[in-house]
């Protein structure tokens, strides 16, 4: 499972953190937030890891903040077996 943690730090010392844990890149998962969430503009309850990172980067551009992104783990891989009758 991939855990993506985004943190937006503002010049005045305030910050906001968002976290999503995802098994696959295309599926939306629950996003949790802590801190000064009013600076995000939009705060989706669910989304992909890419969605979360985009929200934080847009907020950083808007508020002249700094974003840090931490990735822990990886998406789960699916193995496919193809069998052929002879």
Tell me: the pLDDT tens digits for 33-71?
Answer: 999 999 998 899 999 999 999 999 999 999 999 999 999
Interatomic CA distance for residues 70 and 57, integer angstroms: 13
Token pair for 54? 């985009």
**DSSP one-letter code for 77:** P
Q: At 49, phi and psi to the nearest 5?
A: -60, -40
Asked if residue 18 lies in contact with residue 52, where contact means CB atoms within 8 angstroms, the answer is: yes
How confident is the model at residue 41, as a pLDDT? 87
Domain boundaries, the chain: 2-73
- pLDDT tens digits, 1-40: 999 999 999 999 999 999 999 999 889 999 999 999 999 9
Find all residues with CB under 8 Å of 44, minimum gap 6, and list them: 31, 51, 55
Interatomic CA distance for residues 46 and 4, integer angstroms: 13
Measured in residues, the chain has a length of: 86
pTM summary value: 0.84
How confident is the model at residue 85, as a pLDDT? 53
Find all residues with CB under 8 Å of 79, minimum gap 6, and list them: none
């Amino acid at each position: 499972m991939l855990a993506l943690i985004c943190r937006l730090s503002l010049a005045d010392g305030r910050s906001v953190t968002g976290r999503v844990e995802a098994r696959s890149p295309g599926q939306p998962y629950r996003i949790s937030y802590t801190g000064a969430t009013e600076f995000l503009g939009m705060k989706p309850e669910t989304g992909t890891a890419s969605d979360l990172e985009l929200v934080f980067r847009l907020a950083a551009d808007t508020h002249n903040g700094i974003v840090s992104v931490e990735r822990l783990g990886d998406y789960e891989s699916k193995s496919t077996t193809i069998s052929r009758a002879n």
